[in-house]
Structure formats: C-alpha cells, structure tokens
A = this chain, B = another copy of it.
Amino acid sequence: MKIVESLQELRQARAQLAGKVGLVPTMGFLHEGHLSLVEIAGQHSDHVVASIFVNPSQFGPNEDLDAYPRDIPKDLEMLEAAGVALVWMPTAEVMYPAHYQSWIDLDEITQYLEGAKRPGHFRGVATVVAKLFNAVQPDLAVFGQKDAQQVAVIKQMVRDLNMPVEVLVGPIIREADGLAKSSRNVYLKDDERMAARVLNRSLLKAETAFKAGERNGDAIREIMRKHIEDESLARLEYVSCAHEQLLHELNEVEEKALLSMAVFVGKTRLIDNLLLGKE
C-alpha cells in the first residue's frame, strides 16, 4: 500500500494504477462503516484509493475540528488489511494553499437538515469532494448512507457539474443494538451510549407506522419526535420526513421518503436516517 501526501506524489502514484479506480474519501478514525465502503469500492474496481483528510472547511467555528478523533497508524493498518492500493493524506496546506479561494455551493438541498444547522458545512464538503475527484480521477467513489444529505449533495453536484465519476452508496453499518457506527460514538459515556439507541429505534417506529399505512408527514415526524423526547439524556435537534433527493419536507409520502434526525446525547451530536419505501 502506497501512502502519499503531496498532490504531485498522488498524481504519480495514481498514474501507475491501470484499470478501474474506486475512491473512498474519509476523515480517518476508521470503523467498520468505512471498511464496508472500501469493500464496495473493491468489488467495483481494480484498485481502491482511500483519502484521509479532516477537512477544516466543513467544520463550523463552534464545531469539533480540533477535537475530531484521530488515529492514523490504526487507520493505515485497517486500510492495508482491507486491500487499499493507495492512501492520500494531504495536509491542510496541500488542500488549501495561500490565496485559495474557490468554493462549490449548492443552492437548494443544502438549505435543509444538516445544512440548516451547519451553515457552510456542505460548501466545505462539496468543495473537498470535487478536489478529491479531480486529484484522484476515480471511475467511482463510495460514500456512506449514514451521511444521507452528504450523499444527496454529492450526487447532485456530480450530476450538475458533469463529473465523470459514478457515486455508489454503502448502507449504514450498525452496532448490534442498532446504533449507527460513527467516529463520534467514542465520545459517549456508558449511560449516553444506552440512550443513543433512541435514534435508530425511533426510525424503526416510524417505518413500522409507514408499513401499516401511515403516509402523513407530520404524523411520521411526530412518532419519531415523541420517542426521542421520552429519552431524558437525548435532546432532539431536528427530525425530518423529506423528499429523498431534493430533501424538502413532505406533507404526504407517496412512494419514498428519507427519514432523518440529529440528536444530542449528552454533548455528542449524533445523526441517523432511514429510507422509507426502498424496494
């Protein structure tokens, strides 16, 4: 497994990879969720390239950039064991040199959900993903459904900007009790870890109601909201039943919907989601 830092080294190493290349962008501190994306990339390409970059431009001024957990030696060990051919670990100076000034904004779908709570977050995400695509020139890239709005934003950007990259989406990987795996889960104390089950459980409650025929957006959101409010360690930030691509809230669910939420458990902000009506 080759590990590179500069753009020039990356381009040289990339040029050595013949055949189809799959990219898995990460911010490091890898868990099984990331490894499942590497596996998907490997199934659809000849070589997997992974990037590790904690992207400052997608963190707000009051967010946890400096505290974001890091364990590069373990990350590299996991990527090597997973069969990754090339790892790009650019520094912030490589990605955002002096006079850096180009940004990609999406108008509509970044106004909702995470975008509404984290101004500028998706500008940072879209920009860094475009940079990764242009630098690595993958045939395909794999993202996790865990970050559902990120998936929607990247798919929209790829479509809008004619990017020659196929976007694949890996399913949410969960702990045995349903909690979605996340690098931020390490922040949870024991009682908070128990309380955090409420995210997935509220999604499943809403799904059960949907399967029983409930189609009213307010009713579906209310099921999730109530269930979360019953958990004293949880504080709901938002709950949503939205159009799966355009992300606006739905009054009535026709065929599909994206259920999603952000919940503080103690000081840790967790997100989770579920696609309703997926075949």
Contact = CB atoms under 8 A, between A and B. Distances in A.
A104 B106 CA distance: 9
Interface in A119-141: 126-127, 130-131, 134-135, 137
Q: Which of A126, A130, A246 has the most CB of B within 10 A?
A: A130
A160 B100 contact: yes
Contacts of A135: 162, 164
A102 B99 CA distance: 22
How big is chain A's contact interface, by range? 20 to 34
A77 interface: no
A166 interface: no
Nearest to A165: B134
B102 A102 contact: no
A48 to B, nearest CB: 19
A156 interface: yes
Contacts of A137: 164
Given A161-B134, A162-B135, A102 B156 contact: yes
Interface of A: 7, 11, 99-109, 126-127, 130-131, 134-135, 137, 156-157, 160-164, 246
15 contacts: A11-B164, A99-B156, A99-B246, A100-B160, A102-B105, A102-B126, A102-B156, A102-B160, A103-B104, A103-B105, A103-B107, A130-B161, A131-B160, A134-B162, A137-B164
